[in-house]
Amino acid sequence: MFHIGHLNLLKRAKEQCDYLIVGVTTDELVSYKNKKAIISHSERMTIVESIKYVDKVVPQKNMNKMEAWEKYKFDVMFVGSDWKGTDKWNELEYQFSAVGVDIVYFPYTQGTSSTKLREVLNKIMNSDVAVTKE
């Protein structure tokens, strides 16, 4: 789910590049985490396309970042600092260094995450509290 941390990352990324391409995870790829997308892929693409920092939006159909590089030939990849130092991203740093791509980690936005938002929504949906639109 899109939240302020994602917006912060996009803003900071655009400050450091001329042309920002953003991959939006497909519904099928979201399911690999045993989760279900709350907002459809096409709606998420439309939301991200409307953000002024974003120049191009593409579907992210798999987790293969090198495949994305082969298609778009970017020279910098931006990601949240919560991934820094993980085995997966250490390997990606190694792979990308071989083709001249830098990985820039931005500080994680404290206090918000898709997981926390999902937990709150689950509590609301599973409670006896009625939620109404005004």
Active site residues: 33, 35
**Of 30, 22, 9, which is closest to residue 79 (Cα–Cα)?**
9
The residues near 87 (Cβ < 8 Å, ≥ 6 apart) are none
Q: At what angle do helices 87-97 and 65-72 cross, to 10 degrees?
A: 30
Token digits for 3? 């939240």
- How many Å apart are CA 66 and CA 101, to the nearest integer? 10
Which residues in the chain belong to E strands, given as ranges? 21-25, 56-60, 76-80, 102-106
Q: Are strands 56-60 and 76-80 parallel, antiparallel or unpaired?
A: unpaired
